[in-house]
Copies of this chain bind each other. A is one copy, B any other.
Amino acid sequence: MTPEEFRKYGHQAIDWAADYLEHPERYPVLPAVKPGELTDALPARGPEQGEAMEAILADFERLIVPATTHWNHPGFMAYFGISASPPGVLGEIFAAALNVNGMLWKSSPSVVELEQVTLGWLRQWTGLPEDWFGCIYDTASTSTMHALAAAREFADADCRTKGARPGMVVYTSEQAHSSVEKGAMALGIGQDNVRKIAVDDAFRMRPEALAAAIESDRALGLRPCCVTATVGTTSTTSVDPVAAIAEICRRYGIWLHVDAAYAGSAAVAPEFRWAFEGCEHADSMTTNPHKWLMTPVDCSVFYTRHPEALRRAFSLVPEYLRTAGDPRAVNLMDYGVPLGRRFRALKLWFVMRSFGREGLAAAIREHVRLAQELARWVDADERFERTAPAPFSVVCFRYKGTDEENRAIQERVNASGEIFISGTVLQGRFTLRLAIGNRATTEATVRRAWELICGAARGGAAGA
């Protein structure tokens, strides 16, 4: 492809993206495809000779887009909403063109330093201690695994050389994200050594149950090495009592990791700072700008007050990558499993500068306001009941009927193509879960979602 062709098709791509981001609702939020349908529509063998870009772009529109779940759709209310904000997309374009690999300071100083600078800004905006070190991984699951690895290194300096010692135990709540368990499996700690601490009625970890579990394990000669608390759990966005948990961790000398993958972004607005009380005592913390901070996937931020533990767990400098030891020349590859690093800080920098702290806080504030509106509508409707508090922008509720009726409501609503919600199980019962987090979602969208849910409930009750 010649530079002139790239310019031409690049402009076409931008026009497509501009139209798409202006009207993502032209597409059904969930695609009407069956498993294997896209696969069957594509050639089973790749082309021997290069093909014209026109043909590729035509197939993109004809085959790929209709098989895509539209996370940009205002009615995307499943999982956690995310946003391909225009400044974030611009940042990704430059990152793709520069195509640098920031494994070492020397391999691109801009990657390394812009990462430190933007994470410094984010630390200030969210009220975290100034001396924490930050780096960007792909996803929160990767961040969690690195937190567990650093915690283990902290507890057992021989682990690096000798391997995992039996008896290491990790604690988290019943409501924690699956990545805690997965991280423990990956690191060789094992699922059996993850204690899922009971929660209270508001789905928050019970500190006294945590302390009891730690005492019990210590009595057995086991070695508690990490507690993972959550600010904004995946099912209900509940907030673990981090201050109380931190005190327990301090007492027993256990690493505290805070998973704030979703809710961490909310700390840019002062009125949500209450949720982060005690986080300043954590040993590490994760928040995902690619969730609620207008940054395209992937961008998960990991902070720790003990970067040396992370380095001891992961640094291995082979001769062919050795550089001189200036302390400001951070080598990102020393801080985790992946050696190569995309220029992820660039999109974050574009987003932080283009929105400003106020702009991001305003977007989050509006999402929370919309969720609180919905919560009021649910509370005011006697056919429904709320199944969890809604401290942020996620509302859990159910039709007062059977699990099957609720699943039927979810299916009917999702088949509309207008909204996409997920469900979860709370206290043994299936419950609907509506998450607001996309920049295109407005009060009208939420009203329409509630209308569809109420309509489906009538149909569901009738059909049941």
Contacts and interface: CB of A to CB of B under 8 A. Distances in A.
Contact of A340 (B49, B159, B298): B298
A350 to B, nearest CB: 6
Contacts of A253: none
Given A15-B7, A98-B68, A358-B49, A297 B342 contact: yes
A337 interface: yes
Interface string A101-128: 1000111111101101110111011000
Given A50-B356, A69-B100, A97-B17, A433 B320 contact: yes
B116 A99 contact: no
Given A84-B98, A190-B162, A328 B39 contact: yes
Interface string A22-53: 10000000110111111100101111111101
A53 B188 contact: no
B339 A56 contact: no
A355 interface: yes
Interface stretch (A244-252, A422-430, A453-461): A422-430
Scoring A65, A94, A159 by chain B CB atoms within 10 A of each residue's CB, the highest score goes to A94
B99 A96 contact: no
Contact of A64 (B107, B114, B139): B114
A359 interface: yes
A424 B321 CA distance: 8
Contact of A337 (B18, B101, B117, B141): B141
A98 B86 contact: no
A92 interface: yes
Interface residues of A, number: 159
A64 B100 CA distance: 12
Interface string A296-314: 1110000000000000011
B191 A160 contact: yes
Interface stretch (A178-186, A203-211, A274-282, A443-451): A178-186
Nearest to A300: B340
A384 B11 CA distance: 49
Task: Quickly give the copy total for this chain.
Answer: 2
A132 interface: no
A173 interface: no
20 contacts: A3-B19, A9-B90, A13-B93, A36-B328, A47-B356, A55-B353, A65-B98, A67-B110, A70-B100, A84-B98, A89-B93, A89-B99, A93-B96, A99-B296, A139-B338, A161-B191, A163-B193, A178-B318, A186-B186, A297-B342
A262 interface: no
B339 A179 contact: yes
Given A48-B357, A337-B141, A356-B49, A35 B109 contact: yes
Contacts of A423: 320
A166 B164 CA distance: 8
Interface in A404-421: none
A6 interface: yes
Nearest to A99: B84
Interface in A152-173: 152, 159-164, 166, 168
